[in-house]
Amino acid sequence: MTVVRKRVVVHGRVQGVFFRDATRRLAERHGVAGSVQNTTDGTVEAVFEGPTDLVDELVAFCKQGPRGAAVERVEVYDESPEGARGFRITG
């Protein structure tokens, strides 16, 4: 099993629509590690670490977001895995 790590920055109307909590629940269901947070510029930033196919599912979710979100653009960055464990909302 190949483990990957991706950082995702989601632009649009993504704060105040339960984006972070929906992302956390999905990540926990899939056993993907990492974190998600609101940023001061109005984006949501998430880090996902786990098996490639499961991380890709989380990235795909971020491109749609939960009901109420209006995702305009998503930036995805590949990073080196760090052995992250658990998933948390950090801000």
pLDDT in tens, 54-70: 999 999 999 999 999 99
Query: Which residues are the active-site residues?
Result: 20, 38
Query: Looking at residue 23, what is its pLDDT?
Result: 98
> Would the pLDDT of 1 be above 90?
no
In this structure, what token pair is assigned to residue 13? 């109307």
Answer whether residue 91 shows pLDDT above 90. no
Report domain 3-82's class.
Answer: alpha beta
Query: How large is the angle between the packed helices 19-30 and 52-64, nearest 10 degrees?
Result: 160
CA-based nearest residue to 59, from 8, 24, 25, 4 = 8
